Amino acid sequence: MVQTYQSPVRVYKYPFEIVMAAYEKRFPTCKMIPIFLGSEILVDKKSPDGAIHFVERRCKLNVDAPYLLKKIAGVDHVYFIQTNNVNWRERTLKIEARNESFSSRVHILEGCVYSVHPENPNWTCFEQTANLEVKSFFGFENTVEKVAVKQYANNIKKGKEILIYYINEVLEEREKAGEGPILTWSQTHPEEDLQKVCTELNGTLRVSTPDTVPSTSNQETTLLSPSTETIGSQTRTRLASSVKENGGATGGYDDDGAVSKVDEEYIARFLGDLSPLQESKLIELREWLSDTHKEKVKMPHDAHLLRFLRARDFNTEKAHEMITASLAWRKQLKVDQILRTWEPPELLTNYWPGGWHYSDIDSRPVYVLKLGQIDVKGLMKAVGEENILRHILSINEEGIRRTEEATRKTGRPISDWTSVVDLEGLSMRHLWRPGIKALLRIIEVVEANYPETMGKLLIVRAPRVFPIIWTLISPFIDENTRQKFLIYGGKNYLDHGGLPDHLEEQYIPDFLGGDCFCDIPDGGIIPKVCYRSLDDILSPDEHLLCSDTVYKSATLMKGQPAEVLVKISAAQEVLTWDFDVLRGDVIFSVLFVNKPIHHPKETPGLLGNTIYMDKTMVSGVDYRIIESSLVCKAGESIQGSHVCQYHGNYILQWKYYSPMAAATASTKGHHHQNKSKVMFFHEVLDSDNFRGSMTSLQSCQSGFSSLSISTTTSKSSSQSKSSSYVSR
C-alpha cells in the first residue's frame, strides 16, 4: 500500500535568495541534523546563462530505527539520492529525494518546492510531499512503515527550525561583512531577463514578456525535475485563492467560495495544534474533494473538514464517506438555508426551554437547556417531530456560526461549544416511547452531520431516573462524544470541579444558583387544546425531514439495478433527472422500450429495487439506449434532461459499477465497496414549461449542495440536439 503525505504551505518571510543561501549551508554535512552524516556531489550542471543550476547528491543518513531492525537489515545507515534544481530566473528550487538503500523492498520518494510567495515577492513559500511504499522487509513491514512515518514527521517539525537558524546565520554574516541585500538573478542579468522575441504575425509585432519567454535552451528544459513540477503551481493556487480569511458562511464555506488557506499560520490561527500527519490527512481529504468536485463554486472550510476527520480518527476514506453523505443530506433537505428561511412556530418558541448564554472560560459559546422542563409529548403533538428536528438543526447551525465568530474575535481556533443541561424535573413521563424514538433519531442525525461540535456537555441536577434514560440513549452516542459528558447529581455542581471550573462565576445562570439572568423560556406542560393533527402541523414543503421526500434512494449490487419507469404521453415532453451517488460508483442510462411493459405488480429485486428490464429483452429490438451510459463516481451529483422524440415507456436505470473493471490508475483514494447507493428525483415537463422549471434542479443556492454537483458534461452523439447532462 502506498502512503502519501502532504505538508501545509510554509511561508518564510525572507527573500528567496536569502532562503537559498541558508539552505546551502546544510551541505555537505549539517550540525543541526545529527542523522545527516554527509553528502557527495554526483552531478553538477548549469545552463549556459547560469539561470538554472542542477545538482545531484548522494546523502548518507543514520536512520533512527530499532536496534533489532538494524541488525536484521545488516546496516547502520542508508543512502538517499537527492536532486536539487534551482531556477534563479523563476526563483524556484525543486528537490526530489529517493532511497538508494533497499530500493527493491522499500520505495520512498520525497518532493519539495521553494517558490516566491504569489502576493509578496520578498517572501518564500515551501511545500513538501512524500510517498512511501513498503513492499517487503523480512516480515517487519509495519515496523519499517512506522519508522519511516516517524522520521517524516520529525523532519517536518524540525525543518523550519533548522532553516530559520541558518537564515539568521546568513543575515549575521552579511551584516558583519557590510553587505547589502542579495540581488535577484533578474537584477544581475537584465539583458537576459528582458529579452524580447519579436515575430511578424499578420503584420502585427508581438513582444514576449519575461513571464512568457520559454527556456533559452533545450539543456535548461532537460534540467527540470518533472516529478515536482506540479507542487509549486499547487502552492501558488492555494495561496492566491485565499487572500480572504477563512470564515463567514455557516457550515464551513467562504462567502465568496474561495478555497481556504493551508499555510502554517492559517492552521495555527484557525485550526489549532495539528501534528504533521494530521495536517497531511486534512490536505489529503481537501484535495480529494477538490478532485472529485473540481470547478465547484464553493468548498468546505478546513475547520469543517477537520471535524469529520476527528470523528473518524483521521481515517481519510471514512471521513470522505461521512462528509459526502452529509453534503448530500444537506442538499436534499436544504439544511444550510435553515437559518435564513425557517422560523419556529410561536408555540415552540414559547415552550422550548433552551437558548444561547454567553461563553465558557475557554471562549466557547454556551447553550443552556432545561431538559427536565420539556413537555416531550406535548411538543410532539403540538408542533410535531418535523419542527422539533428543524429547531435542533437550527441550533446546530447557529452554533457553527457562533464558533466562527468566536474564532475571529479571540484570534484562536474555536470549533465547538459547551452545553449546560439542567435535568431538574426529569421524570418517568419523559420515557414516552415516541419521544425516546424521536430523540434517538435526532441524535443519529446530529452525530452524522455535526461531528465534533460538542466541546463539553455539563449535566446538572441529575435525578434518580436519569440512569434509566442514559442506559437507553448512550449506545447511540458516539464514544468520543460520551467522553465529553460531565454529570453532576444533587447540588455539587456549584462546588469545586463543577460549573465554576467551566463557566466564569458572573455567567452562571440564576436558576442554577448563579447571579446571571438567563433569558430562556421556562418550558412546562403544553395545554392539550394546542395539540394539532399531522396534516395541520406540516405544510406541503415541510415533509422533507420526517416524512417521505421528493427524493428516493436505492442500493445497488451486481445484477440488482434500480429502474424507474416513466410514461411519456406526448412527443417533445422533457424528462429531467437529478441524482446523487451516495456510495460506490454507478452506471446511469436512459432507455426507450419499444414493446409494452405489463407490470400489474412491480417486481422487487433482492434489495427492494423495482426492475422492469429482463434478460429476454434484446437491445435494438425491444429497447434502445437513448442516453449514452455514464459512469458516475461516489460523491457526484448528476443533473440532466432529455427531449423525448416519441411517446411511450422510458426507463431511468442505475447499475452497480465496480472500478476494478476499469484502469486502477485513476482510482486514487476511492473507497471500493461491494454496494452502491443513489438518491434520485425525476420529473416530466412539457416543452413550454421546461425552461422555467430547470431552476428546480439547480443547487447553487446551497453552499453544501454545490460541493456535491458533478462537473461531468455528457451528450449522446445521436441525441446531442435533444438531450443534455447539466453540470453546475
pLDDT score of 255: 39
Mean pLDDT of 689-698: 44
The number of beta carbons lying within 10 Å of the beta carbon of residue 383 is 25
User: Is 197 domain-assigned?
Assistant: no
Higher model confidence: residue 97 or residue 530? 97
Looking at the structure, tell me whether residues 426 and 493 fall in a common domain: yes
Mean pLDDT of 562-578: 90
Q: Quick one: what percent of the chain has pLDDT higher than 90? A: 32
Helix axes 316-333, 276-292, angle to 10 degrees: 50
The CA–CA distances, whole Å, from 262 to 26, 246, 284, 427 equal 27, 10, 11, 50
The reported pTM is 0.63
User: Is 219 domain-assigned?
Assistant: no
Looking at the structure, tell me whether residues 373 and 508 fall in a common domain: yes
Range of the domain at 655: 552-726
pLDDT at 601 over 50: no
Higher model confidence: residue 161 or residue 589? 589
pLDDT score of 510: 94
pLDDT score of 422: 95
Mean pLDDT of 478-489: 86
pLDDT score of 235: 46
Query: Which tens digit of pLDDT belongs to each residue from 8-33?
Result: 888 889 999 999 999 999 889 888 88
pLDDT score of 333: 82
User: Is 218 domain-assigned?
Assistant: no
Domain boundary among 187, 206, 224: 187
pLDDT score of 693: 41
Higher model confidence: residue 435 or residue 215? 435
pLDDT score of 721: 35
Kindly indicate the confidence band of residue 84, based on its pLDDT and cuts at 50, 70 and 90: very high
Higher model confidence: residue 491 or residue 53? 53
The size of the chain, in residues, is 728
DSSP state of 651: E
Q: Which three cell numbers stand for residue 261?
A: 488557506
Domain boundary among 542, 567, 585: 542
pLDDT at 353 over 90: yes
What is the domain-level CATH number for residue 280? 1.10.8.20
Query: Which tens digit of pLDDT belongs to each residue from 90-106?
Result: 999 999 999 888 887 77
What is the domain-level CATH number for residue 50? 3.30.530.20
| Cβ atoms 417, 275 nearer than 8 A | no
Query: Which tens digit of pLDDT belongs to each residue from 26-52?
Result: 889 888 888 888 999 999 999 998 899
Which residues does 290 contact at the CB level (< 8 Å), separation at least 6?
259, 299
pLDDT score of 538: 59
Gap between the Cα atoms of 289 and 709, Å rounded: 11
pLDDT score of 386: 82
DSSP state of 557: B
Mean pLDDT of 53-67: 82
Q: What angle (nearest 5°) sits at the alpha carbon of residue 638, between those of residues 632 and 639?
A: 150
Looking at the structure, tell me whether residues 350 and 311 fall in a common domain: no
DSSP state of 529: G
| DSSP one-letter string for 123-157 | -EEEEEEEEEEE--STT-HHHHHHHHHHHHHHHHH
Residue 4 bridge partners (DSSP): 131
Looking at the structure, tell me whether residues 249 and 179 fall in a common domain: no
- Which of 364-373, 460-469, 523-532 shows the highest mean pLDDT? 364-373
Mean pLDDT of 695-711: 30
What is the domain-level CATH number for residue 661? 2.60.120.680
User: Is 409 domain-assigned?
Assistant: yes
The sheet carrying 676-685 orders its strands as 552-556, 676-685, 574-583, 637-643, 723-726
Residue 285 has, within 13 A of its CA and on its CB side, a CA count of: 30
Tell me phi and psi for residue 723, to 5 degrees.
-145, 160
Mean pLDDT of 121-149: 77
Tell me phi and psi for residue 725, to 5 degrees.
-100, 135
Looking at the structure, tell me whether residues 707 and 558 fall in a common domain: yes
Kindly indicate the confidence band of residue 700, based on its pLDDT and cuts at 50, 70 and 90: very low
Q: Which three cell numbers stand for residue 31?
A: 550540525
Of 89, 44, 22, the closest CA to residue 223 belongs to 44
| DSSP one-letter string for 56-105 | EEEEEE-----HHHHHHHT-S-EEEEEEEEEETTTTEEEEEEEE-TTTTT
Secondary structure tally for the chain: helices H, strands E: 21, 26
User: Is 238 domain-assigned?
Assistant: no
Q: What 3-state DSSP class applies to 133? A: strand
| Cβ atoms 254, 244 nearer than 8 A | yes
Kindly indicate the confidence band of residue 702, based on its pLDDT and cuts at 50, 70 and 90: very low
Looking at the structure, tell me whether residues 473 and 519 fall in a common domain: yes
Looking at the structure, tell me whether residues 302 and 439 fall in a common domain: no
User: Is 75 domain-assigned?
Assistant: yes
Residue 236 has, within 13 A of its CA and on its CB side, a CA count of: 13
User: Any long-range contacts for 212-219 (C-beta under 8 Å, 24+ apart)?
Assistant: 215/47, 215/52, 216/47, 216/48, 216/49, 216/51, 216/192, 217/47, 217/48, 219/45, 219/47, 219/48
What is the domain-level CATH number for residue 453? 3.40.525.10
Domain boundary among 172, 187, 202: 187
Mean pLDDT of 166-195: 82
How many separate domains does the chain show?
A: 4
Q: Is 416 exposed, middle or buried (0-12, 13-18, 19+ CB in 10 A)?
A: buried
Looking at the structure, tell me whether residues 599 and 457 fall in a common domain: no
Kindly indicate the confidence band of residue 191, based on its pLDDT and cuts at 50, 70 and 90: low
- Which of 158-172, 199-213, 469-483 shows the highest mean pLDDT? 158-172
pLDDT score of 536: 60
Gap between the Cα atoms of 106 and 377, Å rounded: 63
Q: Which three cell numbers stand for residue 226?
A: 518533472
Higher model confidence: residue 533 or residue 368? 368
User: Is 458 domain-assigned?
Assistant: yes
Gap between the Cα atoms of 353 and 341, Å rounded: 22
Mean pLDDT of 488-517: 90
The C-alpha R_g of the chain, in whole angstroms, comes to: 31
pLDDT at 540 over 70: no
Residue type, 1: M
Looking at the structure, tell me whether residues 581 and 473 fall in a common domain: no
Looking at the structure, tell me whether residues 316 and 350 fall in a common domain: no
pLDDT score of 225: 33
Q: Which three cell numbers stand for residue 19?
A: 532562503
Kindly indicate the confidence band of residue 88, based on its pLDDT and cuts at 50, 70 and 90: very high
The mean pLDDT of the chain is: 77
Looking at the structure, tell me whether residues 144 and 172 fall in a common domain: yes
pLDDT score of 151: 67
pLDDT score of 534: 57
pLDDT at 727 over 50: no
Looking at the structure, tell me whether residues 518 and 560 fall in a common domain: no
Kindly indicate the confidence band of residue 606, based on its pLDDT and cuts at 50, 70 and 90: low
CA dihedral 152, 77, 20, 267 (to 10 degrees): 10
User: Is 204 domain-assigned?
Assistant: no
pLDDT at 199 over 70: no
pLDDT score of 89: 92
Q: Which three cell numbers stand for residue 348?
A: 415552540
Q: Quick one: what percent of the chain has pLDDT higher than 70? A: 72
pLDDT score of 437: 74
The number of beta carbons lying within 10 Å of the beta carbon of residue 178 is 6
